[in-house]
Amino acid sequence: MLVIYCHRQSQRLSYAVSIVFDVVCKSTYKLTEDRDEFLRHDGPKIHYSKDTFEGIPGILPSGLLTDQFTLDKKPEKGIYKDVPHIFPNRNAFLPFDVFSAIFYMVSRYEEYGDFEPDRHGRFPMQQSTAYELGFHKKAIVHHWSKQLIDALFGQFPTLVAEKNHTKFEIGMDIDNAYAFKHKNVFRTIGGLSLSILNPVEYINRLAVLTGNRQDPYDNYDYIFNVLSRNKTTLKTFFLCAAYGTYDKNITPGSKVYRHLVERAKNHGEIGLHPSYASNKRATLETELKTLSELSGKPLQMSRQHFLMLNFPKTYEALLKAGIKHDYSMGYAESAGFRAGIAVPFPFYNVKEDKTTDLIIHPFVFMESCYIHYQAIDIDEIKAEISAMIDEVKSVNGIFHAVWHNEYFGGKGGEKWKELFEYMLEQGSTT
């Protein structure tokens, strides 16, 4: 067992140490303030302090992990063995405060501070430390943890640390189940009226409504069949909200929607896609109740529509509603690792300085970023898919990708089908 000495334990330090030795890898450890116990221990040990212990390696604290400490600026940067890091120091054992670096990234500490939000009020990737230092596409927390583990092995060859196993997951967000079909009479008439000025859209819409053409968002047979062929299960997130500017699904209580929920249940797990409106109005619990009733059982899984995350408000609301697992941790603008980590981890509420029961499941890839933010060709997207899968494999993480039913149909649909099947082929080797 590894014993770690510190002057005073804090919730932040306990959380950071747990991320390394409980989440990223599995190794028994004890965090102690008892100096005598530490010195008596005859096995692997390090100290997290400014003290000097002859012959015992240590990590120099930066101060971030002291309760109530606030950091009003970006941390300093450094590099060690070709891996960039934050909170550098001149320590010989490890030249940066690895626990502060990990806490800063995984807790999303920087998202509690001042930033210039995008038009939806979200934290932009371009303002993140990871993006500024160029490691937003690296599972950097795993690399930092490995540097710590390697340094420990160099001192204590008998130390035991178990690795996680790489996994591959597909998530499907149902923002809008059907483009034209199964809308109420007012939306149907309104849609037809608006499309009169666009003859092609009007003809397509009319053909779908009269049953002469498949709805461009109705790609469920394709999705379920491809996943079944590749023996890949699905996590499907359903929007169950009243119609609004950014919430445009069909009526959640309709017979066709209930049938779609049942189909998704047969191919994996289902969860809630909390509406855009739920961030401003108290509708989250109603939406969760609606989907739970449709599925026939209580649900505890979610992913935010539009990835609307506000720290700590969003996660506090999810916990209050009964959500235990959230899949919103990722970038809207790019593939990458928003929290620098590729395995599930508990949410730490920085405002209250405590670890919570909510488990955050980060995602790595979302196809819509290449539609709304990055205009790159299909070969470049394939290269990025392969690179991200390779990165996750290299750290024994979980590759979770976000897809939407709507992009597989209509104009451009064949491109996204090709990319979807390419990803499944690449992921099947994990």
pLDDT tens column, 227-249: 999 999 899 999 999 889 999 99
Identify whether 93 is part of a domain.
yes
In whole angstroms, give the CA distance from residue 367 to residue 425: 16
Identify whether 415 is part of a domain.
yes
Res 270: pLDDT: 97
For 264-297, the pLDDT digits (tens) are: 999 999 999 999 999 999 999 999 999 999 999 9
Q: Is the pLDDT of residue 89 over 60?
A: yes
Pick from 114, 58, 65, 118: which is nearest to 87 by CA?
65
Mean pLDDT of 357-362: 98
Same domain, 348 and 313: yes
Q: Is the pLDDT of residue 203 over 80?
A: no
Check the CA dihedral 300-218-186-244 and report its sign. Answer: positive
Domain edge (last residue) among 163, 192, 207: 163
Q: Is the pLDDT of residue 36 over 70?
A: yes
CB 358 within 8 A of CB 324: yes
User: Which comes out higher in pLDDT, residue 16 or 202?
Assistant: 16
Identify whether 208 is part of a domain.
no
Domain edge (last residue) among 102, 128, 163: 163
Same domain, 67 and 157: yes
Res 193: pLDDT: 67
34: Cβ contacts below 8 Å, ≥ 6 apart: 5
Average pLDDT for the chain: 93
Same domain, 391 and 245: yes
Same domain, 409 and 279: yes
Same domain, 47 and 107: yes
Same domain, 404 and 336: yes
C-alpha to C-alpha distances, 180 to 206, 416, 430, nearest whole angstrom: 9, 20, 38
Please identify which residue in the block is written with the tokens 């026939």.
296
Domain edge (last residue) among 137, 163, 189: 163
Q: Is the pLDDT of residue 430 over 60?
A: no
pLDDT confidence band for 196 (50 / 70 / 90): confident
pLDDT confidence band for 194 (50 / 70 / 90): low
Region of poorest pLDDT, from 73-77, 146-150, 185-189, 397-401: 185-189
Same domain, 114 and 228: no
Same domain, 112 and 173: no
Res 211: pLDDT: 77
> What CATH number is associated with residue 366?
3.20.20.370
Identify whether 193 is part of a domain.
no
Region of poorest pLDDT, from 19-33, 43-57, 186-200, 377-391: 186-200
Same domain, 131 and 173: no
Same domain, 108 and 38: yes
For 326-359, the pLDDT digits (tens) are: 999 999 999 999 999 999 999 999 999 999 999 9
In whole angstroms, give the CA distance from residue 102 to residue 16: 6
Identify whether 185 is part of a domain.
no
pLDDT confidence band for 411 (50 / 70 / 90): confident
Same domain, 289 and 343: yes
In whole angstroms, give the CA distance from residue 416 to residue 430: 22
* Amino acid at the residue 326: D
Q: Is the pLDDT of residue 391 over 90?
A: yes
Please identify which residue in the block is written with the tokens 């500017």.
245
Backbone angles phi, psi at 46, to 5 degrees: -140, 160
Identify whether 209 is part of a domain.
no
Q: Is the pLDDT of residue 180 over 90?
A: no
Domain with 219, as residue range(s), is 167-179+215-427
Q: Is the pLDDT of residue 420 over 70?
A: yes
Q: Is the pLDDT of residue 111 over 70?
A: yes
Identify whether 207 is part of a domain.
no
Mean pLDDT of 31-55: 94
Structural domains of the chain, count: 2
Identify whether 222 is part of a domain.
yes
Q: Is the pTM of this model over 0.85?
A: yes
